[in-house]
Amino acid sequence: MGRTSDARQTLIETAIELMGRRGYTDVGVGELCRQAGVKPGSFYYFFDSKAHLAVAALEANWQYAQDNVLSPAAEADDPVERLDRFVTLMQQAHARTYERTGQVYGCTFGNLSGELLALDPAIQNKLREIFARYYAYFEAILRDIHAQGLADIDDIPRKAKSLFALIEGMQMLAHTHNDPALITALTPDIRALIAA
C-alpha cells in the first residue's frame, strides 16, 4: 500500500479525478480503492465513508483553486484586472485538463452541487462553505471596483453571487460542449454584468 500518508493523499487525488469527471454518485469505494491502489480496509482507516473522502477531496480541490487561480489573480492591483486574471487562469486550468484527458470536467463544486439532493449533509455543508468563500472573494473585488469608481455597483453581496453564478454557468457550458474556449468566449459578459 505504501506509506500511510501517501495512501490517504492518493485516495484524495483519485477522488478528485474520478468525482470531477463523473460525479459523486457514479463512483464507488471499490473503484476508488482500485484506482488508488489502496485496500478497502485501509480506506476505512482514513475515512469513515465515501462522503468523508468527498469532503476531504473538496477541500483539497479548493486549495488547488486557491493556489493556482484565486491567489495569483489577486496579485493584480487593478480590481478589474483581478477579475480578468481569475477567468484567464480558470480557463487555462480547464484547458490543461482537456489537453491531459480530452475532457473538460467543469467545476467540481458546481457539478457536485447539481447532485445535492443525493449527497450527504457533510458534503452539502462543505459545498456551501466553499461557495461562501467564493462569494467573499468576488465581493472583495467588487468593493474595490466600486471604491475606485470603476463601476457603480449596488448590493455588492447579491452581485457577487450573480458573478459566481455566471462563472459557474460558463464552466458548465464548457463541460457540456467539451470546449474550454467557451469560457473565454463568454468572458466579456462578466464585465457587462458589473458594467466595468
CATH number of the domain residue 72 falls in: 1.10.357.10
Q: For position 117, what pLDDT does the model report?
A: 61
In a domain, 114, yes or no: yes
Mean pLDDT, 10 residues at a time, over the chain (196 residues)?
Answer: 72 93 90 95 93 95 96 96 94 94 91 76 92 97 96 94 94 94 85 80
In a domain, 174, yes or no: yes
| Number of domains comprising the chain | 1
* pLDDT tens for each residue of 29-65: 999 999 999 999 899 999 999 999 999 999 999 999 9
**What SS3 state is found at 143?**
helix
C-alpha cell at 146: 466600486
If you write DSSP's letter for every residue of 152-168 in order, what string do you get?
--SSHHHHHHHHHHHHH
How far, in Å, CA of 113 to CA of 119, rounded?
Answer: 9
In a domain, 112, yes or no: yes
In a domain, 14, yes or no: no
If you write DSSP's letter for every residue of 26-67 in order, what string do you get?
T--HHHHHHHHT--HHHHHHH-SSHHHHHHHHHHHHHHHHII
C-alpha cell at 17: 479525478
* pLDDT tens for each residue of 145-165: 999 999 999 999 999 999 999
In a domain, 23, yes or no: no
List of E strands, the chain: none
C-alpha cell at 159: 452581485
User: pTM for the full model?
Assistant: 0.90
Domain limits for position 182: 52-194
- Amino acid code (one letter) for 148: Q
